[in-house]
Chain A
Amino acid sequence: QSVLTQSPSVSAAPGQKVTISCSGSSSNIGNNYVSWYRQLPGTAPKLLIYENNERPSGIPDRFSGSKSGTSATLGITGLQTGDEADYYCGTWDSSLSSWVFGGGTKLTVL
């Protein structure tokens, strides 16, 4: 059971928009930055969003992040088949003194 809660799966059609949510508590999301990672099949995770809503160099603006209270959201617009992947949120948990990940959300682009 992950400390951060994500829906197991989400799907949408090419060109559409999707949001992936990540729910936590005051000891993690509520008081720390959230980052998001994309893991394409058979590859290592890659940083997509950091500090709640910042994109690393090279990440297109189709990807966005937001945070409100103890929840965070990843948004992806203009979906492409190449976006099919597992998406994970992550943050520091001050109570556990440990980095924590969400359980991951599998995105299917129909």
Chain B
Amino acid sequence: QVQLQESGPGMVKPSQTLSLTCTVSGGSISRGGYYWSWIRQHPGKGLEWIGYIYYRGRTYYNPSLKSRLAISVDTSKNQFSLKLSSVTAADTAVYYCARYRGQQLDYWGQGTLVTVSS
């Protein structure tokens, strides 16, 4: 059973960079056919897709976040990471990592709340 777990600071100051890591267990991140994804949910709102990465490094980003976004993968640690720069209060959200297979998100992490505040 694949499991994903987000980790990172729960609070980030405005204008700084939000950094999160997702650790995958129960399966290799290098197995072909899967993309490794980030999704966020603003408080009381719906889901917003951030982007995803293939283990070989190919990325797809939400166009609205692309200029501030970097997703990377570390196959040796079975992890992938999110960096979102120049954050504002509008980036306060629960951030989820998930596995994308075919055209669905089949396994999700439990989510981590990141608050942008000085």
**Which residues does A use to contact B, with CB under 8 Å?**
2, 32-33, 35, 37, 43-47, 50-51, 56, 86, 88, 90-92, 96-104
**Interface of B (DSSP majority class):** strand
Least CB distance, B103 to chain A, in whole angstroms: 4
Decide if B106 touches A56 in the complex (CB within 8 Å). yes
- Say yes or no for B109: interface residue by CB 8 A criterion: yes
**Which B-chain residue is minimally distant from A46 (CB atoms)?**
B108
Decide if B47 touches A51 in the complex (CB within 8 Å). no
Decide if B105 touches A35 in the complex (CB within 8 Å). yes
- How many chain B residues touch A (CB < 8 A): the figure is 22
- Say yes or no for B60: interface residue by CB 8 A criterion: yes
Q: Which residues of A contact B96 (CB under 8 A)?
A: 44-45
- Within B78-118, which residues are at the interface with A (CB < 8 Å)? 96, 100, 102-111
Decide if B108 touches A100 in the complex (CB within 8 Å). no
Decide if B49 touches A100 in the complex (CB within 8 Å). yes
Decide if B60 touches A37 in the complex (CB within 8 Å). no
- Say yes or no for B63: interface residue by CB 8 A criterion: yes
Least CB distance, B40 to chain A, in whole angstroms: 11
Decide if B103 touches A92 in the complex (CB within 8 Å). yes
Decide if A37 touches B102 in the complex (CB within 8 Å). no
Least CB distance, B43 to chain A, in whole angstroms: 12
Decide if A51 touches B104 in the complex (CB within 8 Å). yes
Decide if A35 touches B104 in the complex (CB within 8 Å). yes
Least CB distance, B41 to chain A, in whole angstroms: 8
Q: Which single member of A33, A51, A99, A103 contacts B49 (CB below 8 Å)?
A: A99
Q: Which residues of A contact B109 (CB under 8 A)?
A: 44
Decide if A50 touches B49 in the complex (CB within 8 Å). no
Least CB distance, B87 to chain A, in whole angstroms: 20
Decide if A33 touches B108 in the complex (CB within 8 Å). no
